[in-house]
């Protein structure tokens, strides 16, 4: 059983790519290791006031392993940097009611994180800092403190692409390209 265990960071609806990684950081090149790390340190720094810091001042990675969101996560511009910044910050999965299609595709093609969808409004049921476990194959999220669990939509063909490290790595591994 493949699982992700860690603390969640909870956001609401319509978190756009400028909130995930503001435009002034798009000059960072994710293929350069030092810049990839820097990109992670700026993840979610564009959120409106009222959200706690996602990455602590001076840190390069977040203490959180997962993001739980409402509807339309990753809306806005077509920004490959958005899932990359979250992955660089240490996020392994985002669980949202729905995604902007471009963010969903970019999350898969970069292989940075699992984009789970949920039929329930989990952003109203969880709070930032809750400890959770996601059973990737079983498509289930469990609040560790109470044992209560919620179904997620299965990833299907998405999981092997993310596990391979993205679409190109998957294509090489599968023999589609060399």
Give the side-chain half-sphere CA count within 13 A for 152. Answer: 26
Q: Which residues contact 175 (CB under 8 A, 6 or more apart)?
A: none
Residue 178 lies in a domain: no
Q: What is the Cα–Cα distance from 102 to 159, expressed in whole angstroms?
A: 17
Q: Is residue 141 part of a domain?
A: yes
Is position 126 within any domain? yes
pLDDT digits (tens), the chain, 178 positions: 799 999 999 999 999 999 999 999 999 999 999 999 999 999 999 999 999 999 999 999 999 999 999 999 999 987 899 999 999 999 999 999 999 999 999 999 999 999 999 999 999 999 999 999 999 999 999 999 999 999 999 999 999 999 999 999 889 988 888 8
What CATH number is given to the structural domain containing 72?
3.20.19.10
Number of domains in the chain: 1
User: How far apart are the C-alpha atoms of 92 and 119, rounded to whole Å?
Assistant: 20
Q: Which domain holds residue 76?
A: 3-173
């Amino acid at each position: 059983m493949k699982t992700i265990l860690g603390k969640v960071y909870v956001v609401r609806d319509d978190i756009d790519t400028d909130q995930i990684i503001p435009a002034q950081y798009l000059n960072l090149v994710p293929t350069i290791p030092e810049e990839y790390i820097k990109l992670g340190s700026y993840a979610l720094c564009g959120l409106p006031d009222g959200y706690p810091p996602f990455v602590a001042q001076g840190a390069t990675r977040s203490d959180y392993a997962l993001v739980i969101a409402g509807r339309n996560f990753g809306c806005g511009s077509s920004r490959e940097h958005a899932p990359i910044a979250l992955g660089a910050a240490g996020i392994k999965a985002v669980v949202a009611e729905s995604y902007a299609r471009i963010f969903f595709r970019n999350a898969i093609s970069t292989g940075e994180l699992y984009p789970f969808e949920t039929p329930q409004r989990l952003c109203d049921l969880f709070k930032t800092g809750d400890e959770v476990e996601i059973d990737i194959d079983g498509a289930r999220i469990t609040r560790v403190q109470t044992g209560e669990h919620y179904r997620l939509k299965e990833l299907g063909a998405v999981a092997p692409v993310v596990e391979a490290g993205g679409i190109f790595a998957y294509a090489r591994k599968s023999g589609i390209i060399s």
